Structure 1
Amino acid sequence: MSNSVHLDDIIISKRALNLSEDSSLDQMADALQKQQQGVWPLYADNAKGLEQVQVKTFHYAQCDVKVQFNPARIKSSAAKVDSKSISERKCFLCTDALPPQQKGIPFNDEYLILVNPYPIFPRHLTIPRLEHVPQLIEPYFRDMLELSRALETYTVFYNGPKCGASAPDHMHFQAGNKGFLPVETECSKLKATTNRKLFSNDHLEIFAVSDYLRKFIAIESGDITLLHTAFGWLHELLEQRQQEPEPMLNILSGYENGKWRVLVFPRDRHRPDQYFAEGDENILLSPASVDFGGVCITPQEKDFNKIKAADLADIFAQVSVNDSYFDELCAAYAKRMAE
């Protein structure tokens, strides 16, 4: 593992977190965030700042979308993720680049659970692999499921290398406390009312949602191997349209009552026209998993004040796949699952 020479200085024990040896990963993650607030001023200030963030909600026919004014997120929203910029900066997720105050919890000897120093959620984690490898979901999707099960009070999410990841050169997940994203509560209603059921048996259910500002495919199962296989087939179909470096997508994963629910949002674009526009037309909003989950982040107050429901609808329409492709994808996926 690269950078492992620094790991002993970063890992924090259950004893140091004032926890018993039988404490869960959830409890450790919560204790880590409290510990970090006490020793790391940057994180403490930004976590405290969440209490003052402004939020407004737009109501649509099928969903609610919240907009959060969070100035600390400017570093992520405005991140330069082109190859030249990435090659010229030091990877901030490698262990030898972490601030000395930052501590973490190991997971499966392959990941390090860290607090996100620029939080969106009241409980917000960043979970990089210990080795410096590119941001690609296919080799590590099962890890995402295992993380979801171990962090049961969190939603684990993945941003593709061209879909909101500010470190596309270093494989990582993030996690935030459950119930924060509107899609989490809206999904069950959508499942009950949608007529886009793609597959269903006693062990696996798959349905698609399109009339929701953005489009997604949901995969539910209590069997990790079945779910992993079903996702792999979807990934193969998405690859037929986009291949480099992987199909554009965002993923949310949660585990509850012995079952996973994974939401896959296929993407068409990284950033909308408004992101690059000048003058009054500019809106610095770079959608990633949290935005697709129903909480859009505006790091600039001017954007928070002026953004309207129609702007959000237009932004999601630009970065989501179009109707005809989504219909074709759903039909092909249903056929593949039926074989």
Structure 2
Amino acid sequence: MNSISTEIKQLLTDQKNEWELAGKNFSGLENVQVREFQFDGFTVKVQFNPGRIVSSAAKVDKKSIEARPCFLCESNRPAEQRGVTFGDYEVLVNPFPIFPEHYTIPAFAHTPQQIKGNFESMLDLAQAMEGFTLFYNGPKCGASAPDHFHFQAGNTGFMPLDTELETMTEKYAEQWFKDDVNYYVIKDGIRNFFVLESADSKALGNAFDGIYSMLDVSSDDDEPMLNILTRYKDGGWRILVFPRALHRPSQYFAEGEENILISPASVDMGGVLITPREKDFLKISKTDIESIMRQVLLPEDQFDKLTRKLKQ
């Protein structure tokens, strides 16, 4: 698999120079404020990033989606936006970045956001994008374009989970090996999630399909609610799967002082919570973070039931 990392890094450099919006917003990252909260064996960062209001407050109901042009379709993109082709996908610079190197990777075809049938592509992209963590947000789990299939990617090491996972598996994980895949089940007190590791892409696909098939799908959804983080390193993949219970926490809809505009997605699961409003950034507490994560992720009893099924 040929790496495209050098090519996309050059794309980012060029786009910051030739596309005013991208240049301005990436420069703005230098002034982004960050708070850190220490939990038992891991860190959660909160980033004040006003540019992400576009995503955090995005209306993703069917009526709103149908009323706007798809901003990931090539015909609707800004004239300045260019990309690097990889198979059926195009790697684009994300003009509203969280990471110092942040990309959106839409499929050329305008098809719904659904990981089933696209998992293998995620593995291929992760392998080709050395030094990057690829992520997938489900249509009701942080994707601001649920009508157009896409991944995103950011430079590895930016999210706390990128560097803390090894120590967390020692502290929290239940582990087993099955059909060429290492399974880890992690419950760290605020997040319940699975880790799959293997050098065999087909075995990983089968393992993921097993989890996917056991997750509940509500009558008005096309797929189970989940977020996925993927990284390729040292000849193998590491997949983090976060089964979800809710799209947005109660704080998002609350009024007055209780309101916190936060719409958790994969990056939040990785340990970087994005707050586009300064007042939320300043007031958010450790208790708020615990509450938000516990609400949106699968509760412990359902997660334990899923784990038991997986081990059978």
1:137-183 Cα shifts (integer Å, max 9, x gaps):
01101100000000011000000000000000000000000001111
Cα distance in 1, alignment partners of residues 278 and 73 from structure 2: 32
How big is each residue's C-alpha offset from its partner over 1:259-301, in whole Å with a ceiling of 9 and x where there is no partner? 1000000000000011011111110010000000000000000
1:41 aligns with 2:26: no
State the identity as a percent.
Answer: 50
Does the 8 Å CA contact 2:172/2:188 hold for their aligned counterparts? no
2:71 equivalent to 1:71? no
- The one-letter code matched in structure 1 to 2:204 is L
Distance in 2 between residues matched to 1:153 and 1:200, nearest whole Å? 26
1:321 CA drift (Å): 1.0
Q: Map 1:118-133; keep pairs closer than 5 Å.
A: 118-133=96-111
| 2-structure distance, mates of 1:222, 1:263 | 15
SS at match of 2:30: helix
2:172 is matched with 194
- Select 1:214's aligned residue among 191, 203, 223: 191
> For 1:61, which of 37, 40, 48 is the aligned residue?
40
Match of 1:98 among 73, 77, 95: 77
CA contact under 8 A between 2:37 and 2:43: conserved in structure 1? Answer: yes
Determine which of 92, 101, 114 is the counterpart of 2:92. 114
CA 240–49 in structure 1, closer or farther in 2 if over 3 Å, else same: closer
CA distance in structure 2 between the partners assigned to 1:239 and 1:306 by the alignment: 35
Aligned residue in 2 for 1:19: none
Contact persistence 1:62–1:212 (CA under 8 A): no
Matches for 1:1-339 after TM superposition, within 5 Å = 24-108=3-87, 110-197=88-175, 199-200=176-177, 203-239=180-216, 244-335=221-312
Q: Which has the greater radius of gyration?
A: 1
1-side partners of 2:48 and 2:245: how far apart? 25
The one-character-per-residue Cα deviations of 1:177-218 (angstroms, maximum 9, x if unpaired) are 000111111111122233511x31583200100124111100
Amino acid at match of 1:121: F
Letter in 2 for 1:51: E
Contact 2:268 2:274 in 1 (8 A): yes
In 1, the alpha carbon distance for the partners of 2:112 and 2:54 equals 20
- Pairwise CA distance, 1:243: 7.8
User: Are residues 209 and 243 of structure 1, via their aligned partners in 2, closer, same or farther at CA, if it must alter by over 3 Å?
Assistant: farther
Stretch of structure 1 that moved more, 178-187 or 84-93: 178-187
8 Å contact from structure 1 (residues 37, 43) kept in 2: yes
| Counterpart residue number, 1:17 | none
- 1: CA distance, partners of 2:160 / 2:308: 27
User: Do 2:3 and 2:127's aligned partners in 1 also have CA atoms closer than 8 Å?
Assistant: no
For residues 202 and 266 of structure 1, do their structure 2 counterparts lie closer, same or farther at Cα, with a shift above 3 Å needed? closer
2:224 partner letter: P
Q: Distance in 2 between matches of 1:104 and 1:244?
A: 31
- The runs of 5 or more residues in structure 1 that have no matched partner are 1-22
Query: Please, what is the CA RMSD of the aligned residues?
Result: 1.5
The one-letter amino acid paired with 2:298 is V
Distance 1:293 1:212, change over 3 A: farther
Distance 2:219 2:188 in 1: 23
Given that residues 254 and 261 in structure 1 are in contact (C-alpha distance below 8 angstroms), is that contact kept between their aligned partners in structure 2? yes
CA contact (8 A) 1:66 1:294 kept: yes
Instruction: Tell me the SS of whatever aligns to 1:44.
Output: helix
| Structure-2 separation of matches of 1:201 and 1:247 | 23
Whole-Å Cα distance in 2 between the matches of residues 302 and 325 of structure 1?
34
Runs of 4 or more above 3 Å deviation: 239-243
CA pair 103-69 structure 1, distance change in 2 beyond 3 A:
same
- Secondary structure, aligned partner of 2:46: strand
Equivalents in 2 of 1:284, 1:37: separation in Å?
28
Cα displacement string for residues 62-92 of structure 1 (whole angstroms, at most 9, x for unaligned residues): 3110000000000000000000000100000
In 2, Cα distance between equivalents of 1:312 and 1:191? 21
Count matched residues.
312
Cα distance 1:323–1:206, how it changes in 2: closer, same or farther (>3 A)?
A: same
TM-score (norm 2): 0.97
